[in-house]
Chain A
């Protein structure tokens, strides 16, 4: 039995997400094969890297992944770039479309503050089962782009960096965070544990 499949797209730092779930006692597999993804009770798209190359690496598997998420309603957790890929488009690679599961655009931070945002920032206005048992907390971010969804009702947390942005989504079986729970200490592990609970429901 596979609790969670971590999508390997040959760029992301998949091992850290696996290590974190390993610590939580979950059975986790890193794979680039949709045949493995569909055997898992939950799917995670972790990551760092470029929007465009991540979509390109997914290639025809993008459609299969989208079906698993939107039709089969498999619990899905997008982390960092994995959150951004849910959107229609990104400033980072305007010529390439995202998965288009969450309508909206990925924008680049514009300001006199340091970009990328690297470090611990506050996650507030929590509204997702993944934040069960948590109050506003600090999480680790490393990114230059953020999601701007059309439908604000699915925003599950906000964070301020120059401007306020959506640092988490929640829509039915779809969960996403812009920060790195696998790098956010014990509270981050709690978020992964909450996802594991969703998967095992």
Chain B
């Protein structure tokens, strides 16, 4: 049996140096200062953080690098940065600022080669491929550009390909569930985590402590992500971890 702990990951969508969160990728509302929020999650025992720059402009990217530098001085757990990264230079700047991993989404679909170049340069363990998937009949299609543009790619096939190119982790978001608080898409998460031999982060739909338990008990996902749920204190991380631990999930409580 693997001793590896399941990870609880708050996700911070950042725009113009503010954390924002919307429902189904739209309708953004303000949730605060990214550095302060990161410090709070570090103190509360989050296992990891993910920052997504959703401004996706050159100016936004520069601001993001500064935010990363500030965050890296305050928190001593791993964190991933994604959004608007389009070149090895962008990645290098983010890593040098203190990020542990970078996450690629739209750019990976448009230029899959970048995954393998990034993995060769920085190591697979630091390359996350983010997949936004939406159900269509009995399969899932990949969406890009913040979930606004549909691609012909099948999410399962794309996950396989991304991993074969060198992705060390898959951040899997269900567009159907995102912001609904109806629970993670277990079917999608199960299918992908059974297909690839790298860690899968389940994302989209968490609304209760039970939803986290469900995704860990019923799928091979090794991490689960939520945003507004944590930002607005609807679920407190220490309480969530205690609940999971009590229910037999291997979790870090130190």
Q: A residues near B, CB below 8 A?
A: 13, 15-16, 19-20, 22-23, 48-50, 112-122, 137-138, 140, 142-144, 159-162, 180, 182-189
Contacts and interface: CB of A to CB of B under 8 A. Distances in A.
B77 A185 contact: yes
A142 B76 contact: no
20 contacts: A13-B100, A15-B98, A16-B100, A19-B73, A19-B98, A20-B76, A113-B197, A114-B222, A118-B169, A120-B4, A120-B5, A120-B7, A121-B4, A144-B124, A159-B3, A161-B2, A182-B76, A183-B78, A185-B254, A187-B254
A185 B76 contact: yes
Interface string B76-89: 11100000000000
B5 A112 contact: no
B197 to A, nearest CB: 6
Given A15-B96, A16-B98, A187-B254, A116 B124 contact: yes
Contacts of B3: 121-122, 159-161
Given A13-B98, A115-B197, A121-B4, A49 B76 contact: no
Contacts of B5: 119-121, 138
A6 to B, nearest CB: 14
Contacts of A121: 3-5
Classify chain B's interface size.
20 to 34
B51 interface: no
B90 to A, nearest CB: 16
Contacts of B207: none
Interface in B15-52: 42, 45, 47
Contacts of B7: 119-120
B76 A48 contact: no
Given A140-B78, A180-B78, A187-B254, 19 more contacts: A16-B98, A48-B122, A48-B123, A48-B125, A48-B126, A115-B197, A116-B198, A118-B125, A119-B7, A121-B4, A121-B5, A137-B254, A140-B77, A142-B125, A144-B125, A159-B3, A183-B77, A184-B76, A185-B77
A158 B152 CA distance: 46
A189 B74 CA distance: 12
B125 A143 contact: yes
Contacts, number: 98
Given A49-B123, A142-B125, A162-B2, A116 B98 contact: no
A22 B252 CA distance: 26
A160 B4 CA distance: 8
Contacts of B98: 13, 15-16, 19
A186 B76 contact: yes
A162 B42 CA distance: 29
A160 B122 CA distance: 25
Given A119-B222, A144-B124, A114 B77 contact: no
B126 A161 contact: no
Contacts of B95: 13
Contacts of A187: 254
Nearest to A47: B123
Query: What are the 7 tightest A-B residue pairs by CB atom distance, in nearest-first order?
Result: A120-B5, A138-B252, A142-B125, A116-B125, A120-B252, A183-B78, A119-B4
A142 B2 contact: no
Given A120-B47, A121-B4, A144-B124, A114 B197 contact: yes
Contacts of A161: 2-4
Contact of B100 (A142, A143, A185): A142
A113 B2 contact: yes
A114 B222 CA distance: 10
Contacts of A19: 72-73, 76, 98
